Structure 1
């Protein structure tokens, strides 16, 4: 009675020399062709195809019983050009692909001509009706940015299409920015799974169409579909993008009722949502309740504190993060520096920068130097800010120079501001904010001819000033107001309230700050444009819809101006409202005539 040759105990294979030794042992024992041993050898060889593919090819070519199962796992492990060479070897044996071959080969295939060749082979071998192979073709065409070819394959798919095919179309079109086309496919789906719903929602989020994403989420719930953590995280991100706190709270409650596990991704999304919707205390509550806090959760909470103002709390939380054994990354360093910058913690910011870089070996990047420039610039230490730029190991980008430029405007350094300003404009020639800042700098010095030059340059380059827009969320109704323009059913009431609001705070000591008004006109005429700033209109609308003691939440696309900042402080006291304003840079919490930024922003 014959017995099988003993199989050697598997040993870790770390070098090609070890593999050759192990292979020779398998050959001596007569088990080298056993599928499990052959697959292990081939898997190791696939780690470095440039060096080891010839060895793998010889092993396969001399295998006594080659089978597609030996080749198929390698196709998904190898780069496309090596996978194509391996397929050529397979066909030369000759050995025909099976149902698992093309689903492994196609998804990562590139360039386009390789995909086309594989598609032609698939058709020739009769796999056009095989669902998994068809889906792989769709994915490959989308990966090569050819939605037209993917759509042609999809339309001819017939009975081979399944829910994965439809979802691949939705996701692929969304990734290429064709969201409306994706929605058309989505609406025509005979059946949907959670991946389908999430693909459509994610596509809208990526396109910045947050309310459309929430509409899809509402439809999913209305149909009684049970969600999961991925869908929940996408819905929360949509609420964050829309600045829709009420909806965010609703989604959060739905998550808690549904028993969906709060994993790292979802927890971070919820914390981030509360931070970015102005509820820093609610964000803290969710964060502190997390049983396990990952790096992303720590970063979200530190970043939230940074833009809300309590810099000391952000630095203290970083210390807790260290004590919990979580090492910081690039994002952590940005958040800590931002916290120190917004709170005016100059020495602490520099100390944190030096400590984190030295202790954790983080190599400072452009954004970190930009934070340092902002740290010194906000405090008026312009020479220190300039020294950071001069000492950088790389050429400063427009973000770094822009931070110094903005500081020059705030602190009235005309000479340095002019030199940096023209440089920034040339680097970022289509950003209207750069021109406006330089024009404001000249206007503050009474240099009206230079103001005219800046405006002329904007006209020549067809650059238009970005209009100020403010969005307010009241009772789940989101309304947008634009500077100098009001298209609203209650426009007359809003303008009336705005005028009354300004009159009442004027009686309490408010004086319009006309410093940022460009035009060379008399002071009395400068006050009128200030009345129509978008946040004032949004606040007036909020006063019509809220009662004393309520909180109004406003999001503005630009940095809040000095006059609106001062006016909002007065409104919070005179009308007894808490007003949370999120501008381009940070959050301002106005209450009882004071702002959380302590007038340092």
Structure 2
């Protein structure tokens, strides 16, 4: 009889003490070098006393090594391959688990296939780890195959962990409809299942659905929201600009005594800042006991997009005094702040110090912020010169920053050149096509206009529709340009007619400056009055009390006409109107805007 079989059948007299030794030290959750050293010492002892021949002891050792740290997986593999007898299912699962949580999840799939090839049957503990690897790889086809095997082996409906893993996998890969079907079919749903679905909806930009799932979760007595749940819901509120809902979630956190760690605290700061409630964001930021670089970066970014550039730079300096080194994200926020405020010299100085002083190499995103900074200030030649001398290959976003500046400063010649450069990189870029079409139209080059428009039609290129969101009573209402689908459509258009009359009395003349660059227009010139944010503000004026702030989230840049109209509306109706467009916040009050018309 082979030595390994004798060992498995008879075990050794040291088996129980060896397993106790491994368990008591608690190495499975530790990754420090000293504890890895202890594991190696125990491994050596097991070899000396024969304990390594005991399959249970060896399995515990492999498991502890595999999950201790991804860097130890090669060591775990070497122990597995040198056992002298076939590994059992527990050992295979340990290796699959370790690799599934490592930077190389493909190895988990390799071990799964090895397990099958060597005749071992996976159990219900195997598949959550295999699906975790598929999720890490974002490989839908691979996961579909695994799902088929799970059904074939009869595991799909008998294990809550497998069901949760399937929901998480499909949700992460964008197949949110399948994830929802699996979730609804699950007889048992733990908090991880709910979290997977909420996270999937957020990833799919279906933020209202994420909030709806959270609300449904509140009706259940068998599950309690945890920090991961709340992180997902807060992020959904942030994207929607749903301050009322976000504030309710914050109150829920306080009421249920949920511990607010750095991650959740940072998410709440970001939510308040991106909903335009910058004072609450700052107060919350100051109350977080442990602030990491992301917390500081989020607060700096919040100040920047709300037009508080000086405060953002002051916080940047305070961050360094507090001993926190800025990272790449921090510099994006700081440079963006300089751009929105026209602080050209300050921005150029910060870019110049990034590599040498801060030891953070500028990325294409940082150069894009500075191109935008120079472009907004009208220094187009300098912006173009920067693009041509940077050590990185310019991408479509970098050229796009200059294209926006060319539109704003009516530099048609440079804009035409930039648009063509963008189309070399992305032939389907809508903004570049529309810019060229409008440039040609403005100079009477109708044959070229037709050529561009025909090309767009053939390639199926369409500009994104303008959309505005406004929250009322915990519900988010969406308006598209020219929208007539809302139940209050008649009242909304009647209200806008009255607003238009009052605007005319104030001397408002419609601005059509955006015609030369269609990226920030939603309709033709004659449809200016039906822009989505105008419908949203009319809805807000109808449905909110006098003096209440109106908050709107816009998916595109606010056009010149809407911007000038909102300033007057804030004065006429004595309202604070806050609009978050895709670039920044505009706080309209008493006939003026926080951006000082520099956007």
TM range (shorter): 0.7 to 0.9
In structure 2, what is the equivalent of residue 133 of structure 1?
126
C-alpha distance in 2 between matches for 1:303 and 1:396: 24
In structure 1, what is the equivalent of residue 218 of structure 2?
221
Is 1:105 aligned with 2:96?
Answer: yes
Shift of 1:273: 0.8
Q: TM-score scaled by structure 1?
A: 0.83
C-alpha distance in 2 between matches for 1:266 and 1:298: 14
In structure 2, what is the equivalent of residue 348 of structure 1?
346
Q: Does the CA-based 8 Å contact 2:96-2:130 persist in structure 1?
A: no
Is 1:264 aligned with 2:257?
Answer: no
1:381 to 372, 379, 382: 379
Q: 1:226-375 counterparts in 2 under 5 A?
A: 226-375=224-373
CA separation of 1:439 and 1:577: change in aligned 2, threshold 3 A:
farther
Is 1:167 aligned with 2:171?
Answer: no
Deviates most, 389-398 or 478-487: 478-487
1:198 to 195, 199, 204: 195
In structure 1, what is the equivalent of residue 143 of structure 2?
147
C-alpha distance in 2 between matches for 1:376 and 1:208: 33
| Cα shift readout 1:350-382 (whole Å, capped 9, x = no counterpart) | 122223433211111111111110100001011
CA separation of 1:581 and 1:438: change in aligned 2, threshold 3 A:
farther
C-alpha distance in 1 between matches for 2:304 and 2:156: 55
| Cα shift readout 1:113-156 (whole Å, capped 9, x = no counterpart) | 652231354xx44x545x42353344455556323333234333
Query: Counterpart of 1:436 in 2: which secondary structure?
Result: helix
| Cα shift readout 1:296-350 (whole Å, capped 9, x = no counterpart) | 1111110011111111111011111111111100011110000010011111111
- Bigger Rg, which one: 1
Shift of 1:530: 1.2
CA separation of 1:444 and 1:583: change in aligned 2, threshold 3 A:
farther
In structure 2, what is the equivalent of residue 66 of structure 1?
52
In structure 2, what is the equivalent of residue 558 of structure 1?
556
In structure 2, what is the equivalent of residue 28 of structure 1?
none
For the aligned residue pairs, the C-alpha RMSD in angstroms reads 3.3
Structure 1, unaligned runs of 5 or more: 1-33, 48-52, 520-524
Deviates most, 461-470 or 555-564: 461-470
In structure 1, what is the equivalent of residue 183 of structure 2?
186
CA separation of 1:513 and 1:139: change in aligned 2, threshold 3 A:
closer
C-alpha distance in 2 between matches for 1:115 and 1:300: 41
In structure 2, what is the equivalent of residue 17 of structure 1?
none
CA separation of 1:290 and 1:548: change in aligned 2, threshold 3 A:
same
Q: Does the CA-based 8 Å contact 2:273-2:302 persist in structure 1?
A: yes
| Cα shift readout 1:54-90 (whole Å, capped 9, x = no counterpart) | xxx9999998543424444445546988866764443
Query: Counterpart of 1:200 in 2: which secondary structure?
Result: helix
Query: Counterpart of 1:360 in 2: which secondary structure?
Result: coil
Deviates most, 547-556 or 325-334: 547-556
In structure 2, what is the equivalent of residue 531 of structure 1?
529
Deviates most, 150-159 or 408-417: 150-159
Query: Counterpart of 1:576 in 2: which secondary structure?
Result: coil
CA separation of 1:443 and 1:560: change in aligned 2, threshold 3 A:
farther
Structure 2, unaligned runs of 5 or more: 1-19, 100-104, 518-522
C-alpha distance in 2 between matches for 1:301 and 1:596: 18
Q: 1:1-20 counterparts in 2 under 5 A?
A: none
C-alpha distance in 1 between matches for 2:133 and 2:370: 44
In structure 2, what is the equivalent of residue 25 of structure 1?
none
Shift of 1:256: 1.2
C-alpha distance in 1 between matches for 2:480 and 2:438: 21
Count of residue pairs the alignment pairs up: 549
C-alpha distance in 2 between matches for 1:561 and 1:445: 22
Query: Counterpart of 1:581 in 2: which secondary structure?
Result: strand
Q: Does the CA-based 8 Å contact 1:106-1:118 persist in structure 2?
A: no
Shift of 1:279: 1.6
1:432 to 430, 433, 436: 430
| Cα shift readout 1:224-267 (whole Å, capped 9, x = no counterpart) | 33322222111101111222221111001111111111111101
C-alpha distance in 2 between matches for 1:101 and 1:204: 33
Query: Counterpart of 2:125 in 1: which secondary structure?
Result: helix
CA separation of 1:292 and 1:136: change in aligned 2, threshold 3 A:
closer
Deviates most, 403-412 or 469-478: 469-478
